[in-house]
Structure 1
Amino acid sequence: MNALEAHVNPLTKLTEEARLSLANLADAASGLAVPSLRLGVTGLARSGKTVFLTALVHNLVHGGRLPVFSAAAGRRMTGAKLQPQPDDAVPRFEYEAHVRAMVDKRIWPESTRQVAELRLTIDYESASYFYRKLGPGRLHLDLIDYPGEWLLDLPLLSKDYATFCADALQRARAQGRSEVAAPFLKALAAADPDARENEAAAQDLAAGFKSYLAACRADAHALSMLPPGRFLMPGDLDGSPALTFAPLDIPADAAPARSGTLRAMMERRYEAYKTHVVRPFFRDHFARLDRQIVLVDVLHAINAGPHAIADLEVALSEVLAAFRPGKRSWLSSILTRRIDRILFAATKADHLHRTDHDRLEAILKRLVTRAEERARFKGAEVDVIAMAAVRATREATVKHRGEELPAILGTPLPGERLNGETYDGEAEIAMFPGDLPQDPESLFRHVESASEDARAEFEAAQRDLQFLRFRPPVLDTTAEGLTLSLPHIRLDRALEFLIGDRLA
Structure 2
Amino acid sequence: MNALEALLNPLTTFAEETRLTLANLTDAVGDLAVPTLRLGVTGLARSGKTVFLTALVHNLVHGGRLPVFSAAAGHRITGASLQPQPDDAVPRFDYEAHVRALVSDRIWPDSTRQVSELRLTIDFESASYFYRKLGPGRLHVDLIDYPGEWLLDLPLLTKDYAAFSAEALERARAPNRREIAAPFLEALAAIDHDAAESEPVAQALAASFKSYLAACRDDTHALSMLPPGRFLMPGDLDGSPALTFAPLDIPVDAIPTRTGTVRAMMERRYEAYKTHVVRPFFRNHFARLDRQIVLVDVLHAMNAGPHAIADLQTALGEVLGAFRPGKRSWLSSILTRRIDRILFAATKADHLHRSDHDRLEAILRRLVARAEETARFKGAEVDVIALAAVRATREATIKHRGDALPAILGTPLPGERLNGETYDGETEIAMFPGDLPQNPESLFGRADSISEETRPDFLAAQADLQFLRFRPPELDTTAEGLKLSLPHIRLDRALEFLIGDRLA
**TM above 0.5:** yes
Amino acid at match of 2:182: A
Cα pair distance change 1:326/1:394, threshold 3 Å: same
Residues 1:63 and 2:63 aligned together? yes
C-alpha distance in 1 between matches for 2:296 and 2:343: 11
Deviation string, structure 1 residues 159-186 (Cα, Å, up to 9, x no partner): 1101100110111111211110010011
Cα pair distance change 1:6/1:182, threshold 3 Å: farther
Q: For residue 399 of structure 1, what is the aligned residue in structure 2?
A: 399
Tell me, yes or no, if the aligned pair for 1:5 and 1:158 is still in contact at 8 Å: no
Tell me, yes or no, if the aligned pair for 1:69 and 1:492 is still in contact at 8 Å: yes
Q: Could you say what the CA RMSD is over the residues aligned between the two structures, in angstroms? A: 1.5
Q: CA deviation at 1:461?
A: 2.2
Deviation string, structure 1 residues 366-390 (Cα, Å, up to 9, x no partner): 0000111111111111110000000
Cα pair distance change 1:9/1:403, threshold 3 Å: closer
Tell me, yes or no, if the aligned pair for 2:288 and 2:337 is still in contact at 8 Å: yes
Q: CA deviation at 1:469?
A: 0.4
Amino acid at match of 1:59: N
Q: For residue 100 of structure 2, what is the aligned residue in structure 1?
A: 100
Tell me, yes or no, if the aligned pair for 1:446 and 1:457 is still in contact at 8 Å: no
Residues 1:164 and 2:164 aligned together? yes
Q: CA deviation at 1:478?
A: 1.1
Q: CA deviation at 1:256?
A: 2.3
Amino acid at match of 1:203: Q
Q: CA deviation at 1:8?
A: 6.4
TM-score normalised to structure 1 length: 0.97
Tell me, yes or no, if the aligned pair for 1:301 and 1:309 is still in contact at 8 Å: yes
C-alpha distance in 1 between matches for 2:240 and 2:114: 17
Q: For residue 26 of structure 1, what is the aligned residue in structure 2?
A: 26
Question: What SS class does the counterpart of residue 113 from structure 2 fall into?
Answer: coil
Q: CA deviation at 1:7?
A: 7.1
Q: For residue 377 of structure 1, what is the aligned residue in structure 2?
A: 377
Q: For residue 220 of structure 1, what is the aligned residue in structure 2?
A: 220
Amino acid at match of 1:68: V
Q: For residue 130 of structure 2, what is the aligned residue in structure 1?
A: 130
Q: CA deviation at 1:452?
A: 7.4
Cα pair distance change 1:345/1:314, threshold 3 Å: same
Question: What SS class does the counterpart of residue 100 from structure 2 fall into?
Answer: helix
Cα pair distance change 1:470/1:131, threshold 3 Å: same
Tell me, yes or no, if the aligned pair for 1:8 and 1:157 is still in contact at 8 Å: no
Amino acid at match of 1:493: R
C-alpha distance in 1 between matches for 2:8 and 2:300: 35
C-alpha distance in 2 between matches for 1:490 and 1:9: 37
Q: CA deviation at 1:334?
A: 1.1
Moved over 4 A (4+): 4-10, 451-454
Tell me, yes or no, if the aligned pair for 2:125 and 2:137 is still in contact at 8 Å: yes
Tell me, yes or no, if the aligned pair for 2:357 and 2:386 is still in contact at 8 Å: yes
Question: What SS class does the counterpart of residue 398 from structure 1 fall into?
Answer: strand
Question: What SS class does the counterpart of residue 462 from structure 2 fall into?
Answer: helix
Residues 1:185 and 2:197 aligned together? no
Question: What SS class does the counterpart of residue 191 from structure 2 fall into?
Answer: coil
Tell me, yes or no, if the aligned pair for 2:346 and 2:386 is still in contact at 8 Å: yes
Q: For residue 148 of structure 1, what is the aligned residue in structure 2?
A: 148
Between the two proteins, what is the percent identity of the paired residues? 84
Q: CA deviation at 1:25?
A: 1.1
Cα pair distance change 1:8/1:201, threshold 3 Å: farther
Amino acid at match of 2:356: D
TM-score normalised to structure 2 length: 0.97
Tell me, yes or no, if the aligned pair for 1:396 and 1:409 is still in contact at 8 Å: yes
Q: CA deviation at 1:458?
A: 2.1
Q: For residue 387 of structure 1, what is the aligned residue in structure 2?
A: 387
Residues 1:195 and 2:201 aligned together? no
- 1:271-290 to structure 2, matched below 5 A, reads 271-290=271-290
Q: For residue 210 of structure 1, what is the aligned residue in structure 2?
A: 210
C-alpha distance in 2 between matches for 1:455 and 1:365: 24
Q: Which runs of 5+ in 2 are unaligned?
A: none
Deviation string, structure 1 residues 176-233 (Cα, Å, up to 9, x no partner): 1111001001111111221111111111110000000000000000000100011001
C-alpha distance in 1 between matches for 2:53 and 2:455: 38
Tell me, yes or no, if the aligned pair for 2:7 and 2:13 is still in contact at 8 Å: no
Q: For residue 40 of structure 1, what is the aligned residue in structure 2?
A: 40
Q: For residue 439 of structure 1, what is the aligned residue in structure 2?
A: 439
C-alpha distance in 2 between matches for 1:266 and 1:220: 31
Amino acid at match of 2:477: T
Q: CA deviation at 1:455?
A: 3.7
Tell me, yes or no, if the aligned pair for 1:221 and 1:304 is still in contact at 8 Å: yes
Q: CA deviation at 1:462?
A: 1.5
Q: For residue 297 of structure 1, what is the aligned residue in structure 2?
A: 297
Residues 1:500 and 2:500 aligned together? yes
Tell me, yes or no, if the aligned pair for 1:8 and 1:158 is still in contact at 8 Å: no
Q: CA deviation at 1:255?
A: 2.6
C-alpha distance in 1 between matches for 2:390 and 2:39: 19
Q: CA deviation at 1:457?
A: 4.0
